[in-house]
Structure 1
């Protein structure tokens, strides 16, 4: 969407999204209208009281059938109590209703945006900024909430004030009404001018929030690297540049909104003076009674002075619409990986995997995979080896349907993955990545992440299978020890073993091990290798191997080079063949050049 998309179209999109809250919107708007109608009535009652004091038995109240002036004042007193009571009641109701609506709508938006975010394909995330996404899900949603908490009601009440006060004015004195309403076109023109000028500025403000959030998120995640390279001052300067850019974007928007206020105030002053002077002349000439004159003077203030808040309200509205555009743009981002409709019997999956002439390229880039054919029978172990960039990890991503092949197809037990329900597919696969991600929580919670209802015995059994139980028991609170954000309180090997335990507990028919021992010491590698052998028993296993010593027992090894399978066989066969695999083996075992 364009940054210059109109705020009105953003409002229409928001109302279309919020159609499930239509009843609450109508009720809240009704309370705002009733509150404002009762809010302007005290000025009318004051004018009627002056009319009683001046004209007594000739007053407007006398025309209603109350002859005695004191009784007229008692009636006005009772009306005043009633008006204030209803005004207060509807003030309470509008605040509660609008704020509850704001809470529900911001909750729905955040949940829908995040839910949709989880369904987007991995290719989209490669171009997305984490900081910008966090800013949308948090700051932008909160900005819209702030507008709904007060700004929406203010806009409605300004409209009600103009219509209702205008009706009273034209009833009492059309000439004065015309004078009092003369500033309104100036205010409206000023509002449109402000809206056109402010709209791109607030879009820029929201963009700067995203950049600032990205910087903060990246720096906090990379704090160890920053410290180790003593780049604290450099990063502080870079953050200062982003923060200053955000301040400058806000400064430009504030300059425009501040210019709007003096324009409104001068227009209001002209309308008020015209009512005061011309209305007074009509009273002196006997063409208007004092009570009606009082009503007009009081209502002129009631009509015009609230408009001084228009700049603040429109400022809040523009910020909210800029945020709305970003939120709804995220919600409406198309999902390119089709979800699939064919159920997969997860409990009955055997694990027979076939890659048939599979090709793939990232976007418009060169082919990463070409004509890949692999037939992996259920229960066997397949190892993928090759140099960096040969396409090993891409094959795994295609199997998980993080991406879709650009050519050929992949099947699981004969089911084309493109047609299978994504949840069923991924529920059938356990994934252990070299980049282990642990959530901030306990050891127990991280192991049970894929099976949150698992009992303590099952969790411990999974930990023992992954050779993680012994080190877990040395932690301060054992299985209840907090691992820290991303598991930072644990070593790399410990995190890896928890990841394997998580896969064991899930007990999937297909297991993917993505270079699970690439960043650990020899002792930890041996422990992980033993646990992987136990985990792989009885299930189809795909191993991406960096250390070839971990795959010597694999049923089949596929060597990739530039996205193509160039060698296939068992370890001994490939060594005898003397090709690329033997060269890699010689390098790792120190036999090269012997």
Structure 2
């Protein structure tokens, strides 16, 4: 199989666009027919000259119309018919290519975004959001622009060369070579132009991604920028990257702008040669005056469109640079693949971590030979310093990452064998970093449970101690929360996140610092609701506030990726180890002075 690195972007795109093959052929046919009728007016002009000059011996007179007036009326009718068909085919080709461009753009964007969603978290951590946004939006739009205009231009140019070249060879084979002489130089120049311009446009597309990344980061961190009064610094950053983008575009423009003037001078030589050589033949009587008129006009029709070849190739290379980036993204292989087994039976919720070892790329080990069991329906807690591996355990359970060693079982099923949808549908995650989508409170609670009715959504909000503050919002459940929920406080966002998980009603619930952003009163209220929610449900709680996990069935204390203490709250206090020390610090029994 041909490697994607050696196959041209156009070939890769054509392979991808096989679903639109019939429509591509139809649009191509419309372009050819339109161009054929577009080439007819010069022939009609030549016939008009022939009628006026030769009158009763003209071409049309041979068909039984000796009168000049009759010939001219017939020619006028032919002209009307030709222009009518040209307009008809032009309407169809524009309709065909533009709708095709929109449909391919739509399908490619959906396929690319759908594929991105299947990629593992590591892929997103190693790339900027702005860069991927540039591919999904700007790069795919570049392809749409070429299909909208450039594809038709290339097809019609080829149609013109074949049709007019054949006509020249038929009418005046002795001088046809003069009109066709510029063609090899134009083709060779176009080939060299493409080779030199392609890397320049690829550099432009890459810089677009970098610039978009800066813009996305800055807009997302606008509060931090304002609080640290770094507006001018960030403006200078954007100015620098925008200037690089400007320079790379100018580097490409310098080459593309030179193409048309050079090609125009080559074309002028061919046009002048036909003008003189065929004119002398007409003057000597060896070439009909009408035929000479056709040749002059057709030479212009043949050669002049070549001056637009630079613009078309410019558009083509921009599109191919973008296509290369889009298709490379589409061919990125997910590191975490879907399992083959479905969870057909109801999930009981027993979870086993069996000798798990894991480390992030280019980092020291995060987990070392970790083994623990979460009995179905019980609540366990994970405690430890930042970086001890607590959240990593959760990410491995959700298969955001894969362990290098060991296995994780859910109801005796290795989670690598399960469908990702079934696995993650069985787990409800309330993260410390709450993400709310731009929309209403109602929509954010219902996210992932889109068929839930209003009563169920309100019940979930009440269970999360969120209903009361929601009713105090300007529009209640229909209040817009803003991007990332910025119109709400941290505690309000967290309670909506808990309500979302409650509505999902998963057999396994994960609470990753679920009360970290709330005050003591709200924490107590949420804690009461969580005690009700977790009854009969397998629950994993990650907490720094030990007061929130004192009733857990089992507590695991992690240190540098290993379990160093286990037991209930009371048992761990009696051990007088790390947990007991943390408890005393948090309850004020032991005061730790800063150095």
With normalisation by structure 1, the TM-score equals 0.97
Rounded Cα–Cα distance in structure 2 between residues aligned with 1:447 and 1:137: 28
Q: What is residue 37 of structure 2 aligned with on the other side?
A: 38
Distance 1:366 1:45 in 2: 80
Q: How does 1:23-422 map to 2 (within 5 A)?
A: 23-345=22-344, 348-422=346-420
User: Is the contact between residue 52 and residue 69 of structure 1 (CA under 8 Å) also seen in structure 2?
Assistant: yes
List per-residue Cα deviations over 1:247-288 (Å, max 9, x = no partner): 111111111100101111101111111111111111112111
Say whether the 8 Å CA contact 2:208–2:245 is kept in structure 1: yes
Q: Which residues of structure 1 form unaligned runs of 5+?
A: none
CA distance in structure 2 between the aligned counterparts of 1:579 and 1:175, rounded to whole angstroms: 103
2-side partners of 1:93 and 1:468: how far apart? 57
Aligned equivalents of 2:434, 2:533: Cα separation in 1: 17
Q: How many residues are paired up?
A: 589
Q: CA deviation at 1:520?
A: 2.7
Q: C-alpha distance in 1, partners of 2:342/2:294?
A: 72
CA distance in 1, matches of 2:52, 2:87: 28
Q: Tell me how far apart the structure 2 counterparts of residues 123 and 586 of structure 1 sit (CA, whole Å).
A: 38
Note the C-alpha offset of 1:122.
0.8
- State the shift of 1:193 in Å: 1.6
1:297-328 CA distances to partner (integer Å, 9 max, x unpaired)? 00011111111111111111111111111111
8 A contact 1:190–1:263 mirrored in 2: no
Shift of 1:376: 0.9
- The secondary structure found in structure 2 opposite 1:568 is strand
Deviates more, 1:549-558 or 1:180-189: 180-189
**Worse-superposed segment, 68-77 or 216-225:** 68-77
Cα distance change, pair 425–532 in 1 and its aligned pair in 2 (3 A): same
Counterpart residue number, 1:515: 513
Provide Cα deviations, 1:94-129, integer angstroms capped at 9, x if missing partner: 000101101110000110000011110111111011
**Whole-angstrom distance in 2 between the partners of 1:200 and 1:591:** 67
**Between 63-72 and 471-480, the greater mean CA deviation after superposition:** 63-72
Residue 540 of structure 1: aligned partner:
538
The residue that corresponds to 2:456 in the other structure is: 458
Measured in 2, the distance between the counterparts of 1:273 and 1:434 equals 76
1:426: which partner in 2?
424
Task: Indicate the SS of the match to 1:524.
Answer: helix
Cα distance in 1 for residues equivalent to 2:430 and 2:582: 24
SS in 2 for 1:552: coil
Q: Distance in 2 between matches of 1:115 and 1:158?
A: 37
Q: Distance in 1 between matches of 2:466 and 2:565?
A: 35
- The 1-side partners of 2:235 and 2:53 are apart by 72
Q: Is the 8 A contact 1:43 1:295 kept in 2?
A: yes
> The residue matched to 1:174 in structure 2 has which SS?
coil
SS at match of 1:175: coil
Quote how far apart the aligned CAs of 1:442 are.
0.5
5+ long unaligned stretches in structure 2: none
**1:65 CA displacement:** 4.8
Give yes or no for the alignment of 1:583 onto 2:581.
Answer: yes
Structure 2 equivalent of residue 438 of structure 1 = 436
Greater shift, 25-34 or 279-288, is seen at: 279-288
- How far does residue 57 in structure 1 lie from its aligned partner after superposition? 3.0
1:553-585 CA deviation, whole Å, 9 max, x = no partner? Answer: 111111111111111111111111122222222
The separation in 1 between residues aligned to 2:538 and 2:507, in whole angstroms, is 6
Mapping for residues 483-502 of structure 1, pairs under 5 Å = 483-502=481-500
Secondary structure of the residue aligned to 1:273 is helix
2:8 aligns to what SS in structure 1? helix
Deviates more, 1:579-588 or 1:197-206: 579-588
Local SS of the residue matching 1:25: helix
Question: TM-score, length-normalised on structure 2?
Answer: 0.97
Shift of 1:518: 2.2
- Equivalent-residue separation in structure 2 for 1:248 and 1:532 (angstroms): 57
Deviation of the 1:66 alpha carbon: 4.0
Shift in Å, 1:409? 0.7
Larger mean CA deviation between 184-193 and 269-278 belongs to: 184-193
Looking at structure 1, the residues matched to 13 and 590 of structure 2 have their Cα atoms a distance apart, in angstroms, of 66
Whole-angstrom distance in 2 between the partners of 1:124 and 1:195: 32
- Tell me, in whole angstroms, the C-alpha distance in 2 between the residues paired with 1:587 and 1:62: 112
Deviations 1:168-191 (A, max 9, x none): 111111232111111112211221
Offset from partner CA, 1:136-177 (integer Å, 9 cap, x none): 111111111111111110011111111101011111112321
Does the 8 Å CA contact 2:494/2:517 hold for their aligned counterparts? no
| CA distance in structure 1 between the aligned counterparts of 2:525 and 2:228, rounded to whole angstroms | 33
